[in-house]
Amino acid sequence: MNNFSYSRPQSAPEAVKLGGVDATMFLAGGTELLNWMRLGISAPAQVVDIGLVAEMRGIRKEGNSLWIGALTTLAQIEADPLVRKEAPVLAEACLRAASPQIRNRATLGGNVLQKTRCPYFRAEGQLPWPCNKREPGSGCAALEGAHERHAIFGWTDACVATQPSDPIVALSCLEATIAVVGQRKSREIPAAGFHVTPQEATRIAAARGREAQVETQLGAGELISAFRVPLGNSTRSAYVKVRERESYEYAAVSAAAAIVIDAGRIQRLRIALGSVAQRPWRLVEAEQALIGKPLERAVLAAAIDASMREARPLAHNQFKVRLAANAAVRAVEAAGKRT
Amino acid sequence: MNGFHATHAGENTVNEPVSRRNFLKASSAVASSSLVSSSSQAEMQLARPANPPAGFSDRLSLRFEVNGKQVAVELEPRVTLLDYLRERAGLTGTKKGCNEGACGVCTVLLDGKRVNACLTLAASCDGARITTVEGLASANGTLHPVQAAFIEHDAFQCGYCTPGQVVSAVACIHEGHASDAATVHEWMSGNLCRCAAYPQIAAAVLDAAKKGERA
């Protein structure tokens, strides 16, 4: 790991000011950034450790929404009675992420900024293979390589990576927003549109007139300060994570669902898939098709299967289409069983 | 060897035969001094400014409580809690395995919560209380109930993951996540054992929990 200069401010304005210095990165829990610095994904000249910024930590009800500070750890969220009652899908997504040790350090803000687990991307030093994320313009080794775990939506020949975060899938189905503070202004970004697919990144790059491996809407020097989760439609919500071992593993696919039912009929439904694209993937078509329908497996499966028709699997991950559809059905059923 | 031992200030080596541990410590002193020079070269190659920008530092004066003792130390910002414990504090009970948060052998308690020391900067722990595996047994040498249970249940083979397993188990029990085998397996999933002593480890954790011990 290259050395860097270090600062540990106590307030958000101070942190943002320090973050405006060229070649500076923010450090929260450190469970991602330390590995980026070891692998050579990042080599910041300065690091701003925001761990002491108390105003960015905590969970509270504000009006009809839940405010979650960006520095709140996954362990705090999974155990929080308010989150478990009002938005169980988020508590479950945090609980199923990583390990107990990592969840004690990893923050929600840092979690959504994690990068893909693509093995061609996450290798040390000078790579002997192409990777556009590491070396723009070099190509994508995964496109013709080992890509069983890669994208089925939104990819381009330049990149077939997925975003592996569990909480962002829950936040997407909850229609949460992400509060961001910058050098000059603060703004809120919908969680479902916070990450961008390589397809969307290509359009952004074309608009800016230069090549860019854009992965999120976050601008230079901007810092995530909090998450806002609207309440009222989320007590019946659930997260299903499908993985190759029972615990402490990234998702092959995952699905989050939030449902409102009245007299046995679906009134409102939100479904988001995880690890199928470089952002959480909402099944908007199925959400609309299922309004007024009974909560029956065959009915759900037909609508969700139809919604998956736009999937574009790679040569070796066709299975993820079926896996994701089944996970979505299970998530909706699990959400419906909640009271 | 005496020359090497002399570099460990405060370590009593006068009449001590060359043990495996001391030999390894001496070897690592050589290895770490060569690391220092190569990292100095890396710093030069980086061509970082001679002085850090306003508000940033290149040398940090840090204070921790390590296993009940107050410690003051000066470190570079990039030093992880794991490297500080092993290379500077001489607490080699905490192991380095994957060094990327995948294996759990570096598990320590930070303000009472289990964390991966390899994924934590020492700088982020300024002012914190750290407990390593060396801090679990009583001053008179009586083992912590979790340590005793690991021996009783033969909860290891090669032993490399054991310090991390033990520290993690202390936290797991304290958190109330040791009610049954399935719960223990889930909440101990951050500690890998490539010898696969998992059934014995779970039995030891459950037994220690049942005996009502708290960290």
CB contact under 8 A, B120 and A30: yes
Query: How far apart are the CA of B13 and the nearest CA of chain A, in angstroms?
Result: 33
How much is the mean pLDDT over chain B?
84
pLDDT digits (tens, 9 = 90+) for B39-69: 333 434 455 667 999 999 999 999 999 999 9
CB contact under 8 A, A75 and B121: no
Tell me the mean pLDDT in the region B26-43: 42
Tell me the mean pLDDT in the region B30-36: 41
Tell me the mean pLDDT in the region B171-196: 97
Tell me the mean pLDDT in the region A320-329: 98
Task: Quote the pLDDT of residue B212.
Answer: 76
pLDDT more than 90, % of chain A: 94
Tell me the mean pLDDT in the region B113-121: 98
User: Can you give the C-alpha Rg of chain B in angstroms?
Assistant: 19
Spell out which residues of chain A touch residue B185, defining contact as CB-CB under 8 Å: 246-247
User: Is the per-residue pLDDT at A232 higher than 90?
Assistant: yes
CB contact under 8 A, B55 and A9: yes
Orientation of helix B145-152 relative to helix B198-210, angle to 10°: 140
Spell out which residues of chain A touch residue B48, defining contact as CB-CB under 8 Å: 3, 5, 45
Query: How far apart are the CA of A29 and the nearest CA of chain B, in angstroms?
Result: 7
Q: What 3-state class would DSSP assign to A317?
A: coil
Tell me the mean pLDDT in the region A36-45: 96
Task: Quote the pLDDT of residue B174.
Answer: 97
Q: Which residues pair with A186 in a beta bridge?
A: A181
Tell me the mean pLDDT in the region B130-159: 97
Q: Report yes or no: A116 and A135 within 8 Å, Cβ to Cβ.
A: no
Tell whether the torsion through CA atoms of B13, B19, B23 and B28 is positive or negative.
negative
Cβ neighbours of A155 (radius 10 Å)? 25
| Of residues A19, A28, A49, A3, the one with CA closest to residue B75 | A3
Query: How far apart are the CA of B168 and the nearest CA of chain A, in angstroms?
Result: 8
CB contact under 8 A, B189 and A99: yes
The amino acid sitting at B25 is K
Task: Quote the pLDDT of residue A300.
Answer: 98
Domain membership flag for residue A207: yes
Size of interface A-B (CB pairs under 8 A): 120
Tell me the mean pLDDT in the region A98-103: 98
Domain count, chain A: 1
Domain membership flag for residue A216: yes
Domain membership flag for residue A29: no
Spell out which residues of chain B touch residue A7, defining contact as CB-CB under 8 Å: 55-57
User: Is the per-residue pLDDT at A17 higher than 80?
Assistant: yes
Q: Report yes or no: A334 and A256 within 8 Å, Cβ to Cβ.
A: no
pLDDT more than 70, % of chain A: 99
Task: Quote the pLDDT of residue B22.
Answer: 56
Domain membership flag for residue A303: yes
pLDDT digits (tens, 9 = 90+) for B79-91: 999 999 999 999 9
Spell out which residues of chain B touch residue A46, defining contact as CB-CB under 8 Å: 52-53, 56
pTM: 0.91
Q: What 3-state class would DSSP assign to A269?
A: strand
The CATH number assigned to the domain holding A314 equals 3.30.465.10
Task: Quote the pLDDT of residue B20.
Answer: 56
Q: Which residues pair with A181 in a beta bridge?
A: A186, A223
Task: Quote the pLDDT of residue B133.
Answer: 98
Query: How far apart are the CA of A273 and the nearest CA of chain B, in angstroms?
Result: 24
Domain membership flag for residue A201: yes
CA distance A299 to A94: 29
pLDDT more than 70, % of chain B: 76
Domain membership flag for residue A196: yes
Is the minimum CB–CB distance between B114 and chain A shorter than 8 Å?
yes
Query: How far apart are the CA of A258 and the nearest CA of chain B, in angstroms?
Result: 26
Tell me the mean pLDDT in the region A136-156: 97
Spell out which residues of chain B touch residue A42, defining contact as CB-CB under 8 Å: none
User: Is the per-residue pLDDT at A58 higher than 50?
Assistant: yes
User: Is the per-residue pLDDT at A208 higher than 80?
Assistant: no
Domain membership flag for residue A41: no
Is the minimum CB–CB distance between B97 and chain A shorter than 8 Å?
no
Task: Quote the pLDDT of residue A152.
Answer: 98
Domain membership flag for residue A96: yes
Of A5, A34, A37, Cβ closest to residue B57: A5
pLDDT category of residue B12 using cuts at 50, 70 and 90: very low
Query: How far apart are the CA of A118 and the nearest CA of chain B, in angstroms?
Result: 15
CB contact under 8 A, A2 and B78: yes
Q: Which residue has the higher pLDDT, A231 or A205?
A: A231
CA distance A317 to A312: 10
* Paired sense of beta strands A186-190 and B69-75, if any: unpaired
Is the minimum CB–CB distance between B107 and chain A shorter than 8 Å?
yes
Token couple for A302: 């037909």
The C-alpha angle with vertex A22 and arms to A20 and A28, in degrees rounded to 5, equals: 60
Measured between CA atoms, the residue of chain A closest to residue B116 is A101
Q: Report yes or no: A315 and A147 within 8 Å, Cβ to Cβ.
A: yes
CB contact under 8 A, B78 and A4: yes
pLDDT category of residue A212 using cuts at 50, 70 and 90: low
ipTM (interface predicted TM)? 0.96
pLDDT category of residue A206 using cuts at 50, 70 and 90: confident
Task: Quote the pLDDT of residue A213.
Answer: 75
Range of the domain at A191: 55-339
Spell out which residues of chain B touch residue A3, defining contact as CB-CB under 8 Å: 39, 42-43, 46, 48, 58, 76-78
User: Is the per-residue pLDDT at A178 higher than 70?
Assistant: yes
Query: How far apart are the CA of B165 and the nearest CA of chain A, in angstroms?
Result: 11
How much is the mean pLDDT over chain A?
96
Cα–Cα distances in Å, from A271 out to A94, A258, A335, B11, B104? 17, 7, 10, 61, 34
